[in-house]
Amino acid sequence: MLALQILIDGFAISSLYALGATGFTLIFGVSGVLNLSHGAIMVVAAVIAWWVAGTFGAGAYLGALAGVAAALACAFFTYSVIVRPIQNSGAIPKEEKEIFVLTGTLLWGIMLQEAVAYLFTDNPKTVRPLVDGVVMILGVRTPWNEILTAALSWGAIGLLYLLVNRTRTGKSLLAASMNPRGLTLLGFEMSNIYVLVWAIYGILAGIAGVLLGAFLGVSSANAGTLTASAFSIVVLGGLGSVSGSLIAAYVVGYLETMTAYLVSPSIRTVPVLLLLVLVVYLRPQGLLGRR
Amino acid sequence: MIRSRTFQLAVPALIVMALLPLGVDGYILGLLTLAYYYAVFAMSWDLLFGFAGEVNFGPSFLIGIGAYTAALLNHYWLWPIPACLVAGAFAAVIAGAVLAVPALRLTGPYFGLVTLVAVLLLQNMIVLFAGITGGEIGLDLPDVLSIDDNTNYYYALVFMTVSGAILFGLAQSPVGLILQASGQNATEAAALGFNVAKHKLAAFCISAFFSGLAGAMLIFYMGTASVGTVVDIAVGVNVIIAAVLGGRRTIIGAALGAIFLIGAGEILRPLGQLATFVVSAVALVVILFFPGGFMGRILQSGGRE
């Protein structure tokens, strides 16, 4: 009974983690950027969805759409105002661009977080779920919303898979992650590819944020934790490896759920952190990463 | 010479700072005292990042280890303050050496993550063992440095000046140059016959020493050690922002950035919740448009980068 509960809850949480981390690792794989405003963008999506659905009475679907749109806008802003100027700047030495992008996105994340806290307070907000009701799965009461969360996460990841592997545009993304210079020589405009990848990222982060808001509820104070968990999952799976991130998301999701149910919710994240240290020491490239 | 120019700027500034208690009230002195300790945090971070090229996301790991070691010794065994400070600094050095081990094997984001995880683990441990460490509420200390604002201010000022001079001198010395070389291209530095591992380890230990000592001094100034003041990620973020804002690879700039950051936070206090937003926005603008930071700007206007 408890095992089944862990299995179901863990699956839903892990699917969400997987979705959140996919966008994060995609950006890193294609453009080498670690976006530390990731968590804040997810929070913005959730809070906008909550606001539009609740205050305006626009309904859960329109709210979710508004949330994803907000995340998309934030992602574009992150790219065009912070990441691109730093990457193109002549005043910053090449080997220091990484720390500037990290610091810049970190500051931008703090700004988003503070803006949300100011406009909407930092109380936790639960987005109205898209579907109501519960269903019994082998005796475990499971909200439909939890099933929908897992299904939508996997749906989005599946669509991304099709996009990257089956379409011409998607293949150019894959190529960009392998050899940007080769792609430029073939006549592809790298800036178009970057815009595309940030757009995909914005949508994925938006969906993840809205689903998280409906599933667990989100407060602006969660932004840092969300970024840290995406970062950990991505490193655990191997930077830039999408399949690695998916596996790592399940490892992290189940480890956290098991700790929360079997030991104590207060040390939920500790085993994950220890595992992370261990992996980084023994296998720095992560589970499926290339060196 | 960059050195003489920095001195030309630093000496008058220090004289003004030393005379401040004559004309400024206790509240502002208290604020500056805090800022000076932050300045030491930021300068130690700059030694690691600017010179050794290691992005340490967890300066508050070293600070926290130093602070809590001192706090526990003082709280439970009533060690005198100087002994606690020494113990805190050395505990931080050991923590720095532990942190340096992955740094010698990992690069870039991997090392960054390890340092971040180190802070999260430390924070979790402190909260988990709240019975001993005081947890979120904090651990009160039987001893404080002084109850007099002026004395506290001078302790902090002297501490900052001495630490800054040592760190700056080190950065300008041949050792600093070797560190800089190994930060920019470790393979080439090693090929030139320098022991990169040894120098980086030394940089970590020195950075940790000053971070830990400053952390321990800070809690004896405040009279209590808590997660929010010395361990939280936000503390580390502030240290990093201060160092980048002031101008990386200048050491003195980091101190300038820290004083600016604490000052700006106070001036903007009437804005309430928006204060953090505005400070972050200002820092972002500086990073985007003046990547050299304050100090880079000042030194550049003098004709030198």
Domain boundaries, chain B: 2-301
Q: Does A50 touch chain B (CB under 8 A)?
A: no
Residue B92 is predicted with a pLDDT of: 96
Name the range with the highest mean pLDDT among A84-93, A250-259, B93-102.
A250-259
pLDDT band of A140, cuts 50, 70, 90: confident
Residue A45 is predicted with a pLDDT of: 95
Q: Does B277 touch chain A (CB under 8 A)?
A: yes
Tally Cβ neighbours within 10 Å of residue B230.
27
Q: Which residues of A touch B235 (CB under 8 A)?
A: none
Rounded CA separation A233/B103 (Å): 20
pLDDT band of B305, cuts 50, 70, 90: very low
Residue B40 is predicted with a pLDDT of: 96
Q: Which of A177-181, A216-220, B73-77, B297-301 has the lowest mean pLDDT?
A: B297-301
Residue B301 is predicted with a pLDDT of: 61
Is it the case that residue A285 has pLDDT exceeding 90?
no
- What is the reported pTM? 0.87
pLDDT band of B4, cuts 50, 70, 90: low
Domain boundaries, chain A: 18-219
H-assigned helices in chain B:
2-19, 26-46, 59-77, 81-105, 108-128, 130-133, 149-172, 174-184, 186-191, 196-222, 227-230, 233-246, 252-267, 274-289, 293-301
Residue A156 is predicted with a pLDDT of: 93
Rounded CA separation A30/A71 (Å): 19
CATH class of B2-301: mainly alpha
Q: Does B284 touch chain A (CB under 8 A)?
A: yes
DSSP category for residue B271: G
Is it the case that residue A67 has pLDDT exceeding 70?
yes
Contact at CB, A92 and B248, closer than 8 angstroms: no
pLDDT band of A42, cuts 50, 70, 90: very high
Is it the case that residue A286 has pLDDT exceeding 80?
no
What average pLDDT does the segment B24-43 reach? Answer: 92
Is it the case that residue A47 has pLDDT exceeding 90?
yes
pLDDT band of A31, cuts 50, 70, 90: confident
Rounded CA separation A33/A49 (Å): 27
Is it the case that residue B220 has pLDDT exceeding 90?
yes
Per residue in A164-178, pLDDT tens? Answer: 888 888 888 888 888
Rounded CA separation A274/B124 (Å): 11
Q: Give A30→chain B minimum CA distance, Å.
A: 16
Q: Does A272 touch chain B (CB under 8 A)?
A: no
Per residue in A75-85, pLDDT tens? Answer: 999 999 999 99
Chain-wide mean pLDDT for chain B? 86
pLDDT band of B1, cuts 50, 70, 90: very low
Residue B3 is predicted with a pLDDT of: 58
Q: Give B166→chain A minimum CA distance, Å.
A: 25
Residue B2 is predicted with a pLDDT of: 56
Per residue in A244-261, pLDDT tens? Answer: 889 999 999 999 899 988
Tally Cβ neighbours within 10 Å of residue B293.
25
